[in-house]
Structure 1
Amino acid sequence: MFSHGGAIGLTLTVSQGDISFNYYFTVFVEYAPIDPPAEGSNPYITKVFDYMPAVGQFTNTLPLYEEGDTQETMNQKVLDAIGNNKRGMITLGGFGGYVTVGFDHTIQNVEGLRDFRVLGNAFYANANPNPDAPEGGSCEPGVIMVAYDPDNLGPDNIQWYEIQGSAHADPTKEPWYEMAKVNGNDVNIYFDYRITYYRPDSEPASRDEWDTYIKWEDNQGNSGYKVKNQYHSQPYYPLWAGNTLTFTGTCLPQNAIDESGSGTYFVLYKFRYGYADNEINSYDDSSIDISWAVDASGNSVNLPGVDYIKIYTGVNQENGWLGECSTEIMGVEDLHLLKEEIHTRR
């Protein structure tokens, strides 16, 4: 019996006395087909299970935190904003900030087609000083995780898988990779990244304290500060959280470049596919194929569908006056219920 589908490695060991032989092999496990959604199923988010943004300039405003709010009331505010095709907006803050959502049905994995779309607020630059630059503008990629729950165990009690976006497969193939490397960006991908943010003792008393506002440390030996800017004066640390916040996940290459050379025009370049808030909503690459899901070892898994989706900010980077790279979410759509047919990339 296996707890999940996909390619699973097994070892048969035969031994007698001092003699031992190991035989390694792989089995491929598939789930049984699922029934189509019932008539009248909702194509959009109907549940929000958890919401915890990281530090960010829109944290505590998208959605608005009010004194006395709890985790449960913040979850409800997120549902009110992005559930049921409301198309409001929430922020996930800096790296690791996340939201976990659900539906009133299982989104089917249809062979050869993309299955759902994550709505964000990505857009392209209108006046990039670099005339030869690839597509980019405000692309703040969120990593997407999916889970299938045929026994209704709930999102905290089941196996999660990550959507293998383009940088997961090979970051060097991103069209802006060499530009970012020359710019001094960290262009590595870290599959077991961990970052901790520390609640500040107080809000900055003057502008001199903006650059050392909220401290962070990661498991790569790096540390720094999330800075405050003149455009957003509210606290950037989620006010209903504890004194430290730790997030883990896949940290993507830094995709932002100051193309002006003077700090006035930052361009956040688009990853090829597979992430949230990375592509204009009306374009194909804002949509996801469930078949891109992989396990922790990078092996493909054969999910018949997904019941839950988790999205977290995938880049740790400050971008001058623009502030941190923070994924924003407006909703999730079941493409099959909406009768949209978008072929997969691979």
Structure 2
Amino acid sequence: MERKILRLTWGIAVFLCWGTVFTGCGDEEDTFENIEPTPEGATAYITKVFDFVPAVGQFTNSLPEYEEGDTQEAMNEKVLAAIGNNKKGMISLGGFGGYVVVGFDHTIANVVGKRDFRVLGNAFYSADNPDINAPEGGSCEPGVIMVAYDKNQNGVPDDEWYEIAGSAHENPALELWYDKAVTAGNDVKTYRNYEITYYRPEKEPTTSEEREKYIWWEDNQGNSGYKVKNTFHKQCYYPEWIKEDKITFKGTCLPQNAVDESGQGSYFVLYKFRYGYADNELNTKDESAIDIDWAVNSKGQKVHLPGVDFIKIYTGVNQGNGWLGECSTEISGVEDLHILGVDIDTRK
């Protein structure tokens, strides 16, 4: 079947994002092919894992489990076995920047006015928040979502990536927990083009002092420090199949959403962003579903994709939460809502 060509020409666009106004100059033009109807027998779930590189974290090397000699390809296969094909296992992306890239046996269609897919996580609400008037939160560890359309039709994610602009991209101050985070001394900015580098530890710690100074990190905002090793998870927190002695991750860093509501380091609540992220909302709630039309390009300009073939998710917050450990996005799958017959209107 001959494919029709849809030409999308961007006029002057203004998009307020990350505290900066981005303007399109009217000379940018993207061309996409119309997608064909979803083929009969297509599955709503992940069928491919192209890459998996978690950042430092307490579940790195255990979700999925690294075994001596495992290669990158072997770890990708373990991820697919855990979260592909509706298995609904669990993987952890570790701290900020850790990511997974997945694909499907069809293009997830962008249906106008509707949410198109859902990234499944393990977010849940707190049952005993000391602040009874607090907004919804508990264990919400938001992952930033990137999407790509297979424009060159070669079946691999080498096309341009677009970022799903969630609520903190719009305006962090609109988050219901924003004032709480400010009072707690959190960094509540959204950083575009954030970078962080983690360094392989010289050895595994054996004392509490060594656990406190476990893995050194530095970012491009002038910050640095140690990622702590807790007493609950004893495996190495640095991905062991990675040969390099340092790993750098880049992306959008979201505001720190965890608050110690006990005031004594015993009860951390990770608050929910309003919309647009992975592992941020209960899987049963509408706001865990994503509209492809929330995608923006590298200039922050809104784009319209006919659909997506590849999805990348990475941990979006750089924050440690005492005994609870780092903020780390967990993923258990991705669902094409249209194949499943789930009808959710987009946000107005």
Superposition TM-score, scaled by structure 1 size: 0.93
Residues 1:25 and 1:102: Cα distance change in structure 2 (over 3 Å): closer
CA distance in 1, matches of 2:224, 2:54: 19
CA distance in 2, matches of 1:225, 1:206: 15
Q: 1:234-245 maps to which residues of 2 (within 5 A)?
A: 234-241=235-242, 242-245=244-247
Alignment-derived partner of residue 289 in structure 2? 287
Residues 1:25 and 1:212: Cα distance change in structure 2 (over 3 Å): same
Alignment-derived partner of residue 185 in structure 1? 186
> What is the CA deviation profile of residues 209-233 of structure 1, one whole-angstrom value per residue up to 9, with x for unaligned ones?
1111000000000001110111101
- Following TM superposition, by how much is the alpha carbon of 1:35 offset from its aligned partner in structure 2, in angstroms? 1.3
Structure 2 runs not aligned, ≥5 long: 14-24
Alignment-derived partner of residue 342 in structure 1? 344
Q: Which amino acid aligns with 2:256?
A: Q
Contact 1:31/1:302 (<8 A) preserved: no
Structure 1 runs not aligned, ≥5 long: 11-23
- Following TM superposition, by how much is the alpha carbon of 1:296 offset from its aligned partner in structure 2, in angstroms? 1.0
Match of 1:7 among 7, 10, 30: 10
Question: Secondary structure, in 3 states, of the residue corresponding to 2:150?
Answer: coil
Question: Secondary structure, in 3 states, of the residue corresponding to 1:225?
Answer: strand
Q: Which amino acid aligns with 2:10?
A: A
Question: Secondary structure, in 3 states, of the residue corresponding to 1:216?
Answer: strand
CA distance in 1, matches of 2:142, 2:191: 15
Q: Which amino acid aligns with 1:66?
A: E
Alignment-derived partner of residue 167 in structure 1? 168
Residues 1:238 and 1:25: Cα distance change in structure 2 (over 3 Å): closer
Which moved further from structure 2: 207-216 or 243-252? 207-216
CA distance in 2, matches of 1:159, 1:133: 40
CA distance in 2, matches of 1:70, 1:136: 37
Q: 1:92-111 maps to which residues of 2 (within 5 A)?
A: 92-111=93-112
Alignment-derived partner of residue 20 in structure 1? none
- Following TM superposition, by how much is the alpha carbon of 1:182 offset from its aligned partner in structure 2, in angstroms? 1.1
> What is the CA deviation profile of residues 78-106 of structure 1, one whole-angstrom value per residue up to 9, with x for unaligned ones?
00000000000000000000000000000
- Following TM superposition, by how much is the alpha carbon of 1:153 offset from its aligned partner in structure 2, in angstroms? 3.2
Residues 1:8 and 1:199: Cα distance change in structure 2 (over 3 Å): farther
Alignment-derived partner of residue 311 in structure 1? 313
Q: 1:1-346 maps to which residues of 2 (within 5 A)?
A: 7=10, 25=26, 29=30, 31-241=32-242, 242-346=244-348
Contact 2:157/2:310 (<8 A) preserved: no
Residues 1:31 and 1:152: Cα distance change in structure 2 (over 3 Å): closer
Alignment-derived partner of residue 16 in structure 2? none
Superposition TM-score, scaled by structure 2 size: 0.92
Contact 1:106/1:305 (<8 A) preserved: yes
Question: Secondary structure, in 3 states, of the residue corresponding to 1:62?
Answer: coil
Contact 2:197/2:248 (<8 A) preserved: yes
Residues 1:27 and 1:75: Cα distance change in structure 2 (over 3 Å): closer
Q: Which amino acid aligns with 2:300?
A: G
Question: Secondary structure, in 3 states, of the residue corresponding to 2:340?
Answer: coil
Question: Secondary structure, in 3 states, of the residue corresponding to 1:31?
Answer: strand
CA distance in 1, matches of 2:9, 2:46: 27
Contact 1:142/1:275 (<8 A) preserved: yes
Contact 1:5/1:303 (<8 A) preserved: no
CA distance in 2, matches of 1:168, 1:6: 24
Q: Which amino acid aligns with 2:338?
A: H
Contact 2:123/2:281 (<8 A) preserved: yes
Percent identity over paired residues: 66
Contact 2:98/2:315 (<8 A) preserved: yes
Question: Secondary structure, in 3 states, of the residue corresponding to 1:146?
Answer: strand
Alignment-derived partner of residue 15 in structure 1? none
Contact 1:30/1:303 (<8 A) preserved: no
> What is the CA deviation profile of residues 289-321 of structure 1, one whole-angstrom value per residue up to 9, with x for unaligned ones?
000000011111110000000000000000000
> What is the CA deviation profile of residues 22-65 of structure 1, one whole-angstrom value per residue up to 9, with x for unaligned ones?
xx545665634311111000100000000000000000000000
Contact 1:30/1:302 (<8 A) preserved: no
- Following TM superposition, by how much is the alpha carbon of 1:264 offset from its aligned partner in structure 2, in angstroms? 0.6
CA distance in 2, matches of 1:269, 1:344: 22
Question: Secondary structure, in 3 states, of the residue corresponding to 1:75?
Answer: helix
Q: Please say which structure displays the higher CA radius of gyration.
A: 1
Question: Secondary structure, in 3 states, of the residue corresponding to 2:96?
Answer: coil
Q: Which amino acid aligns with 1:276?
A: A
